Amino acid sequence: MEHKRIPAKDVRAMCGGVSDMSLWRWLNDPTLNFPKPIYIARRRYWREADVIAWLDAREVAA
């Protein structure tokens, strides 16, 4: 599972159904430390484990 790559639509769903603009803002806000995507054929993919770790860290901080 740690090597699984997921597209932006799956990341948005995991993060509570946020918009693509919210993802863009999170990526451009260094204080949030949102995981950076990997670009494959001009599409964005994230490591699923990175997104889960980010979400878990946000729950602890809240």
The distance between the two most distant Cα atoms of the chain, rounded to a whole number of Å, is 36
Structure tokens at 62: 């809240």
Residue pair 8/51 in contact (Cβ under 8 Å)? The answer is: no
Tell me the C-alpha distance between 21 and 29, whole Å. Answer: 12
Q: Specify the amino acid at residue 40.
A: I
More confident residue, 11 or 58: 11
Angle at 16 between CA 14 and CA 18, to 5 degrees: 100
Domain boundaries, the chain: 5-61
Q: Under DSSP, is residue 49 helix (H, G, I), strand (E, B) or coil?
A: helix
Confidence band (pLDDT; 50, 70, 90) for 60? confident
pLDDT per residue as tens digits for the range 4-52: 999 999 999 999 999 999 999 999 999 999 999 999 999 999 999 999 9
